[in-house]
Structures are given as structure tokens and as C-alpha cells.
Chains A and B, each alone.
Chain A
Amino acid sequence: MSAITPSVPPLQKLRSLRSLPGPRRVLLHTLLIGVALVMLYPLLWMLSSSLKPDTDIFTHPGLIPDRLHPRNYAEGWSGSGNSFALYITNSLIVTIGAVTGNVISCSLAAYAFARFEFRGKRSWFALMLATLMLPMQATLIPQYTIFYNLTWINTFLPLIVPKFLATDAFFIFLMVQFIRSIPRELDQAAMMDGANPLQIYLRIILPLMRPALITTTIFTFIWTYDDFLGQLVYLQQNARFTVPLGLTLFLDKTSGSSYGAMFAMSTLALAPTLICFLVFQKRLVEGLATTGMKG
């Protein structure tokens, strides 16, 4: 491209592909900022409403609260059956269990698919991909009866144990793609040194696939934390409630005056996801892009 002399007219057009001239760039920025504001406005409104007294939320719609009312957080924290401290603890138990399960079981399965030949491997792999498409609703009721017969209802086990059985095919797929990019020479060298496949998995594959494991951790955390249907079905006692279930208690008293508290706890409930996003933003976007595309 640099070979073309700058005086040739078409280059004007060519350049417009690369960097926009001043006015158009300003226009584009304005447009993008506008869209971003519209997109993020509901979130800002939530945050601002969480800091207003109930009487101001719908009468003073501006983003900057006239009167600060941080007590909403205290009211919301303790105001629904049990304290949110309990809901957060329960959510933590479920998410930590799910993350642990996914990281272990999916990496094991991915290692087998990426590095070994075995009977019917292609079919198993295809079946694994097919389960990606399977909606959770399709197996919900029989799974419920299984866990019911195991008397696991109102425990966290139905939400955690399946993750130890690599039921999240998405992450197996993600990790298979990643392991394929690790040079085989490393495995071979270790094998020459007498390492068995388990040792290779532990000493070479796992450490090298750290980026994929982190992506898995973040997505599992966010998706488990937000998974409402599963928690709604399996956790019925208030003492077992997680954050999303705790929040639904606000739905029943919308006629009351707890709007501020509701916004406060909603803000709080979104905070972990938001923090995850701010810290790992780049990795999340890239993880998504590389699995969405070919690896």
C-alpha cells in the first residue's frame, strides 16, 4: 500500500477506510457516546435511585439525588426474611462449588478430546457439541425427580454436583480449542522423561491452559451466580436462598414503600458481575470472540 504515490486520487477513499477525517470522526464519536449513554442509562438510574429516599425516586427522576439516603442499603440488607449476608454466603457456596467442578471436570474431558485417540471419538465429540444446543428445560423435570429421590432438594448439591460431571459442554469446547494450541512437543518431551498422561495433564497442560481456566472461572461464576431457574427450582427454604432468590422477595411488596431498598439490593446484586467485568473485561470479550469463531 505504501507503494502507491499519495497523489493518486483513489487513495483518498483508501484512507477513509483507515482513519476518518476530522468532522466525520467527531460525528462518529458523538453517535457512539449517544448510544452508550442510552445503553447505560438504566444502570445509572438504578444506582442513583438506590441512594434516594423512596419519595424522591419517581418524583425527582434526575440522576443526581437531591437528598442522599444511603439507609436504603441498610434496610434492604436486613429487610427480607433473612439478611442478605446469608443470601450472599449461599450464592458464594454455589458459585465456588460450580467453578471448582467446571474447571476440574471440563479440563479433564477437554484433555482427552484434544490429545488422545479412542474408539468413537468423533461421535462422542459430536454428541458433546450437540448437548451445547440442549436447553436446560428439556431435562429439568427428570433431573428434579433424580435429585428429589436423592433427597437433595433444598441443598446446594443439585446446583454443584452436575458441574463436577462436565455438563457445561461450552467449556469443554473452549478448552479443547485451547489445548490444541499447546505444542505437542511439550507432551512428548515429558513422555520421554517417563511422565504418564495424568502427570502430563497436571504438570504441563493445566499450567499452560491458565488463560482458558480463568475464562472458564469468570464465565462459570457469572452464569451460576445469575442462574435463576435452577436456584428457584431447587432452593425453596428461605434459609437456602441465594441472591437472586432473595431479590424476588422484593417483588411481592411493590405496593409498600421499599423501592429504595429494592434498588439498593439490585445494585448490590449486580456489583460482583460488574467488578468481574471491570477487572477481566478484555479476557471476557476475547474468550467470547475466540469460541464464537473458530479457535
Chain B
Amino acid sequence: MTSAKSDEAEGEEPAAPAAPADRRERARPRRRAVGRRGGGWWPYVFLAPWFVGLFGLTVYPMLDSLYLSFTDFDLLTPARWIGARNYTHMFSDDPVFWDSVHATLLYVVVSVPLKLALALGVAILLNRPLKGIGVYRAAFYLPSLLGGAVAMAIVWRQVFGGDGLFNDLLGWFGIKGQDWISSPDTSIYTLILLAVWQFGTPMVIFLAGLKQLPKDVYEAAAIDGAGTVTRFFRITLPLLTPIVFFNLVLQIIDGFKTFTPAYVVSNGTGGPLNSTMLYSLYLYKKGFTDLQMGYASALAWVLFLVIAGFTAVNFVAGRYWVHYDD
């Protein structure tokens, strides 16, 4: 995440650990001396709600969830310790778990690159002085705001249904469609399309990045006779890698968390044949339909580790291909 990185690098000097009494010779910038108050207990007052939330609703639940993942727990009776059996069951004899892993990976691996490519492509088209640019930007961004809603998923279900809009469009070209939602081979692709349809968020972030690219480099390149394609691959893309990277991390995490459209399109079943059983939906079903909360906690921890792993890999890989300004 570029923002986090740059943010920590600047601004925050090592937090002064000692009391103000600690007189040191090092001249500090004046603005710090006057502007930043040690503040005594004031910052803790302001942070109090956040501390309660952090420990009560994040740290403790994470640990509790880890504990529960080694138990058999149905909410109504006390949790019973069963060791690693949830995990061994998950990996060795739960075919639905593997169905959901398959569906989720397919969903992420196909939708994220398509979404980012479209976002970058449209952002580049929009990154020029053109009449009505604001209207286009708004039109392309709108689906990102609406796409997560139940209402939108309901509409989607009808668009790709047997007699839906999509088949009408195919009909114009003389292609006979099918019910894309109820076929196990295609249902996940309707969800992927819904995800790609929401390319507006990364597009807006790309646009902001493009605006910050130094103009003189392009002018120099143009004078040197570099064409559009060369400019894109030699200048735009390398300079934009931090933002590509940021969007990539964000979209992958988003992909793993997707729940609503899978629930709505399959009416809560994850079907047909578990083809839309996205991981979050499976977790929900295990925890809240089957009340296997121990097992669902194990699923939650696996999801957490996978997301943390992906984020870490992205950051490490980013070091090799991400170009930062300096």
C-alpha cells in the first residue's frame, strides 16, 4: 500500500519515548517543538473508543476465533476442545471446502486482472482534456458504488437468466443463449462479470495517479519521437507501478471477501453444484446455517492467513517490480 508506506516514512519521527524532562542537545525543528504537544493523557482520552474497539472487537475476537477453531462449538453449548480436527477435516475430507476454494480462486484470478486492465485502459482514455470528461468518469464510477448492493445482484440474476437481457443481446447476433445462472459451468462467470463491471474504483485511483505523472517526461519523449505505445510501456506503466500495486492488493483482498452477489445469485445455496460457493459464503453457511461455529472459525483463520499471505507476497514481489519515485 503506497499510502501507508509513504505516510509512515514522512511525518512521523520516532515517537519520543521519554518525558519532556529528557533534555537533549539535538535541535528539533521548531514546528515540532511548539506544535506537537506531548499531551499527557489527552491522546489516550481521544483514542479511548478506538482502544476499546481494537481490543474488544478485533484483538480479542481474533484470539477467541483461533481458540474456537480447535473446538466443536454450536453457540448454545460450551465449546468442546477437539484439537486440530477441524483443520484436518477441512483439508482431507470436506469436498465442499475444496469446491469453495476452487470457485474463489477462479473468481479472483480471472476478475482482478480483467478489472485492473479495464480500469487502467479507460483511465488512460480519460486522462486528457476532453469535453464531458466528468460525465464519463461519473458514469464509469457509478457501478462501483452500486455493485455491492443486494438490489444490484438481484438485477444481475435476471440479466443473465434464461430469458434475461443478456440472451436478448445475444439474440441480435443470432446466438442462442442459455440460462447462465443455473449452469454450473457459467454461473461463476456471471459473478466475475459483475466484479469487472465495477472497475470504477481502481479507475479513479489510476486517474489520480496519471494526473501526477510529470508532464515534461512526456514532452521530452514526444520530441524524441516516441509513439503512444512506447510512451505507455516506457513511461506510463513504470511510473504507475506503485498504484498498480496498490490496486492489485486492494482488489485481491476484496475478491476474497466477496459475499453478497454469490449469496443472492445462488439464493444462499452457493449452487449450482457449489459453483458459486465463494469462500465467504461457505463460511457463513457453516457458521450460521449449520451452527458449526468451531469449523467456521477454522475457515475464518485460513481465510485470514491466506489474505495476510497474499498481502505479504504482494509487498515482497512489489519490491522487485514496483517503481517508486526516488
Contacts and interface: CB of A to CB of B under 8 A. Distances in A.
Interface stretch (B91-99, B107-115, B154-162): B154-162
A188 interface: yes
A142 B64 contact: yes
8 contacts: A42-B165, A109-B46, A118-B38, A125-B12, A138-B304, A143-B57, A188-B35, A294-B7
A134 to B, nearest CB: 7
Contacts of A274: 142, 146
B320 interface: no
A28 B125 CA distance: 8
DSSP class of B's interface residues: helix, strand, loop or mixed? helix
Nearest to B293: A141
Interface residues of B, number: 113
Nearest to B152: A270
Nearest to A36: B139
B225 A135 contact: no
B116 interface: no
A295 B3 contact: yes
A117 B43 CA distance: 8
Interface string A143-155: 1111010000000
Contact of A116 (B6, B39, B140): B39
B296 A141 contact: yes
Interface in A24-65: 25, 28-29, 31-32, 35-36, 39-43, 45-46, 49, 58, 61
Interface string B128-159: 11101010111111110110111110111011
Nearest to B49: A105
Interface of A: 1, 10, 13-14, 16-20, 25, 28-29, 31-32, 35-36, 39-43, 45-46, 49, 58, 61, 104-105, 108-109, 111-113, 115-122, 124-129, 131, 133-146, 148, 162, 164-167, 172-173, 177, 180, 184, 187-188, 191, 196-198, 201, 222, 226, 228-229, 232-233, 243-244, 247-248, 250-252, 259, 262-263, 265-267, 269-270, 273-274, 276-277, 281-282, 284-285, 288-295
Interface in B273-326: 280, 283-284, 287-288, 293, 296-297, 300-301, 303-304, 307-308, 311
Contacts of A172: 50
B204 A247 contact: no
A162 B56 CA distance: 10
Given A19-B129, A117-B39, A229 B280 contact: yes
B101 interface: no
B187 interface: no
Given A135-B303, A139-B57, A262-B154, A145 B288 contact: no
B219 A228 contact: no
Contacts of B151: 244, 247, 265-267, 269-270
Contact of A46 (B42, B136, B155, B293): B155
B103 interface: no
A281 B15 CA distance: 39
B207 A289 contact: yes
Given A259-B158, A289-B207, A142 B39 contact: no
Centre residue among B53, B64, B65 by max chain A CB count within 10 A: B53
B140 A111 contact: no
Contacts of B246: 292
Given A36-B139, A117-B36, 4 more contacts: A117-B39, A162-B53, A197-B46, A270-B149
